[in-house]
Amino acid sequence: MLESKTYIVFFKYAIPSILGLLSISSANIVDGYFIGNYIGAVGLAAINISFPILAILFGLGLMFAVGSSVTAGKLMGEKKVNEASNIFTKSVIIVALLSITLSLLLHFNIEFILDILNVKNSLREMTLEYLPTLLLFLPFLITAIVVDYFVRVDENPNLSFIACLVSAVVNIILDYLFIVKFDWGLSAAAYATGISQIAIIITLIPHFFLKKATLKLIKPKGSFLSIIQMSKNGISEFINEASAGITVLIFNYIMLKNFGALGVASYTIIGYFIMISIMISFAIADSMQPVISKNYGAQYFNRIKSFLKLGFSSVLFIEIVLSILAILTPELLINLFLENRDLRTKEITLEFISYAWPAFLFSGLNIMITSYLTSMQKAKYSALIAILRSLFLPIFFIFVLPIFLGTKGIFMALAFAEFITFLTALYLFFKNSPNKVSKNLKS
């Protein structure tokens, strides 16, 4: 990681990360396919109603995973392996206990939460089929996030990919059996997803018992509060996920108000397209975090610049391809999720994507810059970008644009938010470029 050619290291980490997250994305998309075609548009809407709660918990896991793994990566670059293993062990313990507590708390208060969200009728019934079951499995996913980040820091990105692939295959097979063959309804999707999350943990944990592993599960030493301190470096990832959840909550409210449950279903389908774009960008950006953090610890700034060039070029190319597909073949993509009788949902979705596609161009670049700043331990700047693109600007534009543009303003809000965020992110990137950081360390 510190001596091999940069393009070899880049592809060694980026390709398994992309394939792994694409596996997870494809599993979620297959979820959408089975639910949309065998349960209906309201089932898709119920998943989106559940998303804000799941996103906040997922973001909590990411915060600990990124914050602690970046610190561990820097320590490994400084040859402090025992300290890195101690961080790994304490991170797993904290996240496992915290996620179990929160998941149970939410599970037993789900009716109250749906009352607050004003979810009623068939949409409420569908949500109650799905969300309480999935919450019971969520601690496995949140703990798996932490383990996955440390597997990659420990230079085994291929295992990370294998874990994601195994999870995706399990999810798809169980979706087919539970939804199509057994006709268990929307709860089937929750069981399929939950069991697939357990598969991730089972696949990853053996790595740390291998002789070649540098990181080990050891008896924890020192205060656990140090992990909470480290997690602040992953605050931008928490803000990204939690803010995305809050934004989805508000978008759901607006879509329900203007288009009813079919509007929420339409937004869910758009969410699948956006998820593919964001997942690929996150895969490239996240694969660079352990690489950049280790090279930062070793103060190899020219190598960091080379990795950034490869990362930005790859993200921009992928986002352009996805934008072209969204422009030229939207109906083909939408037909994957909806039966022919859901014509109104298709109409809303086609109009939505015709205005939202520019978000693809800028979202990946914003994510890449956020990840870079996190790796360089510029937590406040990465957090600012995260909160702009995931919370403040989408909410601002979804309320302001419709005043001037009507319902078209709702569809354009995401694109406007990503573009304005990009201008801010670009300024912060140049302010904290590898050259600038290197000069500050020398002065």
Q: Which of 276, 279, 308, 277 is nearest to 373 (CA)?
A: 308
Can you read off the two tokens belonging to residue 7? Answer: 């393009």
pLDDT per position as a tens digit, 191-209 = 998 998 899 999 999 998 8
Q: Percent of the chain, pLDDT > 90?
A: 20
In which element (H, E) is residue 228 found? helix 225-230
DSSP-assigned letter for residue 366:
H
Say if CB 125 and CB 90 are below 8 A apart: no
CA distance 159 to 132: 30
Sign of CA dihedral 35, 40, 41, 47: negative
Q: How far is CA 14 from CA 46, 64, 251, 311, 440, in A?
A: 33, 21, 32, 9, 29
Task: Report whether pLDDT(293) > 80.
Answer: no
Which residue type occupies 289? Q
Once rounded to an integer, what is the mean pLDDT over residues 239-255?
Answer: 81
pLDDT band at 13 (very low <50, low <70, confident <90, very high): confident
| Residues contacting residue 228 through CB under 8 Å, at least 6 positions apart | 94
Rg (CA), the chain: 21
Task: Report whether pLDDT(339) > 70.
Answer: no
Q: Which of 217, 234, 96, 198 is nearest to 154 (CA)?
A: 217
Outline where DSSP puts E strands in 105-236. none
Once rounded to an integer, what is the mean pLDDT over residues 98-119?
Answer: 88
pLDDT per position as a tens digit, 127-174 = 999 999 989 998 998 998 889 889 988 888 889 888 888 988 898 899
Determine which of 10-19, 180-189, 409-418 has the lowest per-residue pLDDT on average: 10-19
Can you read off the two tokens belonging to residue 385? Answer: 């970008």
pLDDT score at 26: 66
pLDDT score at 2: 56
Determine which of 1-10, 45-54, 426-435 has the lowest per-residue pLDDT on average: 1-10
pLDDT band at 383 (very low <50, low <70, confident <90, very high): confident
Task: Report whether pLDDT(321) > 80.
Answer: yes
Query: Beta-carbon neighbour count of residue 101 at 10 Å?
Result: 11
CA distance 200 to 292: 25
CA distance 206 to 196: 17
The residue length of the chain stands at 443
CA distance 86 to 109: 35
pLDDT per position as a tens digit, 343-378 = 788 888 888 888 888 888 898 899 899 888 887 878
pLDDT score at 439: 72
Q: Which of 24, 271, 297, 50 is nearest to 169 (CA)?
A: 24
pLDDT per position as a tens digit, 62-107 = 888 888 888 888 788 788 889 888 998 999 999 999 999 999 999 9
CA distance 312 to 149: 21
User: Which is more confident, 317 or 260?
Assistant: 317
